């Protein structure tokens, strides 16, 4: 229970259905020294909101201290990825490495059969294969299956997403009807541990070596200017480059080269790519032994596009889109869909 409306409603629905529900919240960073500047999902007010909701629906509630685990499993990776010139996706790491791992273990230790969250996604069991399927939430605007692609069969087997089969508005209506204290709380938007979206200073605080001066180069290798560290950029970025384009066309970040601290820039047309490869691929349906047709989604707000997906073995896969896609970003996830069903996904190389 994050203290947001979705996980609150998830808990309330299960309790209403007569399940024996225990509310758990994760404390993800040190609250004791008055750090209140971290962002939304794990601020102390949110923990108190979770507690108030639990009291309102008459379930026990506990806050688990996962500072160390969060730091080692999510924040470190987040920082390292930026230092390496990639754009991380911490929510997906948190889901597979913390929520449905350490937290689920704790829950099992308390006698729980399943772990429910407020994600907009669905889990179904395929009758024929017996495999657990991950599907998009019915509210396409809120769907979070993209962030859950790396859940294993074991993790999916005990996962419950009680709000995944309803639209956000009915979730809010339900919260209001049940008079949950968070019914009108705004949705969280930012990465929970990054105050005010300023991930750049967060990265340099954690990894001062990231703030190394480098150069912008164009596609031909011509140096166009200097920058203060590649962690400040992400593929597809246009704003904040501080570059005057020689031709007057807007310049975009095309790639980041960590080895020589170069930011490659060019016109929007150069951002288009047709192929990508991915690593640490998790196949939720069985790993295909020949190329399959799927819709591949390359970031949270991307409309999955038709592609051919081929397993390369060794946890890797190649994706060839039918049409070029803009700003394929290393570090983000590529998730393969068959209709609403997640076939699998991996981390973009």
Partner 1 sequence: MNVSPMRVYFDYNATSPLAEDVTDAVVRATRDVFGNASSVHHFGQQAKATMDAARSAVATLLNADLSEIVFTSGGTESDNFAIRGAAEALEPTGRRHLIASAIEHEAVLNTLKALARRGWRTTLLSVDQSGIVSPDRLRDAIGTDTAVVSVMQANNEIGTIQPIAALAAIAHEHGALMHTDAVQSAGKIPVDVRALGVDLLSMSAHKFNGPKGAGVLWIKRGTRMQPVLTGGKHERNRRAGTENVPAIAGLGVAARLAAGKLSVEAPRVAALRDRLEAGILRAVPGTAVNGAPESRVPNTTNISFERVEAESLLIALDLEGVAVSTGSACSSGTLEPSHVLRAMGLAAHRTQSSLRFSLGMFSTEEEVDRVIEVLPRLVEKLRGLTRKTVPA
Q: Are 260 and 213 in contact (CB under 8 A)?
A: no
Q: Does 111 bind partner 1 (CB under 8 A)?
A: yes
Q: Are 254 and 266 in contact (CB under 8 A)?
A: yes
Q: Does 20 bind partner 1 (CB under 8 A)?
A: yes
Closest CA to 249 of 209, 291, 219, 228: 219
- Provide the minimum distance between the beta carbon of 15 and partner 1 in the complex, in angstroms, as a whole number: 9
Q: Does 76 bind partner 1 (CB under 8 A)?
A: no
Q: Does 47 bind partner 1 (CB under 8 A)?
A: yes
Q: Does 101 bind partner 1 (CB under 8 A)?
A: yes
Stretch that binds partner 1, among 77-85, 97-105, 292-300, 329-337 (CB under 8 A): 97-105
- Provide the minimum distance between the beta carbon of 57 and partner 1 in the complex, in angstroms, as a whole number: 11
Q: Are 213 and 226 in contact (CB under 8 A)?
A: yes
Q: Are 304 and 337 in contact (CB under 8 A)?
A: yes
Q: Does 44 bind partner 1 (CB under 8 A)?
A: yes
Q: Does 17 bind partner 1 (CB under 8 A)?
A: no
- Provide the minimum distance between the beta carbon of 73 and partner 1 in the complex, in angstroms, as a whole number: 7
Q: Does 73 bind partner 1 (CB under 8 A)?
A: yes
Distances from the Cα of 190 to the Cαs of 38, 99, 135, 230, 344, in angstroms? 10, 18, 24, 21, 26
H or E segment at 63? strand 61-65
Q: Cβ of 19: how many Cβ atoms within 10 Å?
A: 17
Instruction: Count CA atoms closer than 13 A to 239's CA, side-chain side.
Output: 0
Stretch that binds partner 1, among 63-71, 120-128, 200-208, 333-341 (CB under 8 A): 63-71
Tell me if residue 192 is catalytic: yes
- Provide the minimum distance between the beta carbon of 294 and partner 1 in the complex, in angstroms, as a whole number: 31
The residue to which tokens 């970025």 are assigned:
237
Q: Does 62 bind partner 1 (CB under 8 A)?
A: yes
Q: Does 32 bind partner 1 (CB under 8 A)?
A: yes
- Provide the minimum distance between the beta carbon of 111 and partner 1 in the complex, in angstroms, as a whole number: 7
Stretch that binds partner 1, among 4-12, 99-107, 174-182, 183-191 (CB under 8 A): 99-107
Q: Does 69 bind partner 1 (CB under 8 A)?
A: yes
Phi first, then psi: give them for residue 244, nearest 5 degrees: -95, 120
Q: What is the distance, to the nearest Å, from the Cα of residue 309 to the centroid of all Cα atoms in its chain?
A: 21
The residue to which tokens 């164009």 are assigned:
218
Structure tokens at 317: 């896969």
- Provide the minimum distance between the beta carbon of 18 and partner 1 in the complex, in angstroms, as a whole number: 10
Stretch that binds partner 1, among 62-70, 176-184, 211-219, 339-347 (CB under 8 A): 62-70
Q: Does 92 bind partner 1 (CB under 8 A)?
A: no
Complex with partner 1: residue 69 or 145, whichever CB lies closer:
69
With CB under 8 A as the contact rule, the residue among 56, 80, 84, 106 that binds partner 1 is 106
Give the neighbor-by-neighbor strand order of the sheet with 214-217.
223-227, 214-217, 262-266, 252-257
CA distance 117 to 24: 10
- Provide the minimum distance between the beta carbon of 29 and partner 1 in the complex, in angstroms, as a whole number: 10
CA-based R_g, the chain, Å: 21
Complex with partner 1: residue 98 or 271, whichever CB lies closer:
98
With CB under 8 A as the contact rule, the residue among 5, 52, 82, 109 that binds partner 1 is 109
Where does the chain have alpha helices with state H? 5-16, 44-56, 67-70, 76-83, 90-94, 104-109, 153-157, 168-177, 199-206
Question: Which residues form the catalytic set?
Answer: 94, 192
Which residues of this chain interact with partner 1, rule CB under 8 A?
A: 20, 22, 27, 31-32, 44, 47-48, 51, 58-60, 62-65, 68-69, 72-73, 101-102, 105-106, 108-111
């Amino acid at each position: 229970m994050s203290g947001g409306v979705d996980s609150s409603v998830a808990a309330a629905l299960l309790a209403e259905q007569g399940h024996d529900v225990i509310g758990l919240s994760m404390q993800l960073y040190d609250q004791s020294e008055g750090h209140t500047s971290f962002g939304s999902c794990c601020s102390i007010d949110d923990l108190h909101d979770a507690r108030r909701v639990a009291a309102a629906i008459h379930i026990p509630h506990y806050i688990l201290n996962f500072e160390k685990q969060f730091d080692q499993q999510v924040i470190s990776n987040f920082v390292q990825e930026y230092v390496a010139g990639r754009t991380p996706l911490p929510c997906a790491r948190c889901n597979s490495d913390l929520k449905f791992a350490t937290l689920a273990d704790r829950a099992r230790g308390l006698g729980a059969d399943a772990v429910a969250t407020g994600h907009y996604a669905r889990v179904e069991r395929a009758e024929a294969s017996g495999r657990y399927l991950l599907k998009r939430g019915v509210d396409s605007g809120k769907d979070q299956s993209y962030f859950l692609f790396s859940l294993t069969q074991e993790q999916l087997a005990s996962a419950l997403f009680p709000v995944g089969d309803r639209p956000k508005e009915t979730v809010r209506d339900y919260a209001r009807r049940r008079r949950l204290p968070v019914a009108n709380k705004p949705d969280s938007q930012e990465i929970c541990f990054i105050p005010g979206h300023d991930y750049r200073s967060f990265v340099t605080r954690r990894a001062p070596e990231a703030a190394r001066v480098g150069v912008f180069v164009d596609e031909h290798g011509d140096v166009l200017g200097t920058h203060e560290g590649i962690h400040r950029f992400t593929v597809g970025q246009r704003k904040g480059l501080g570059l005057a384009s020689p031709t007057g066309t807007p310049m975009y970040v095309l790639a980041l080269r960590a080895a020589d601290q170069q930011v490659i820039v060019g016109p929007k047309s150069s951002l288009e790519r047709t192929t990508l490869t991915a690593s640490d691929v998790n196949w939720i349906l069985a790993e295909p032994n020949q190329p399959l047709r799927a819709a591949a989604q390359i970031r949270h707000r991307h409309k999955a596009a038709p592609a051919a997906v081929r397993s390369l073995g060794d946890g890797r896969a190649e994706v060839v889109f039918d049409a070029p896609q803009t700003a394929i970003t290393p570090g983000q996830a590529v998730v393969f869909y068959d209709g609403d069903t997640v076939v699998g996904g991996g981390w973009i190389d």
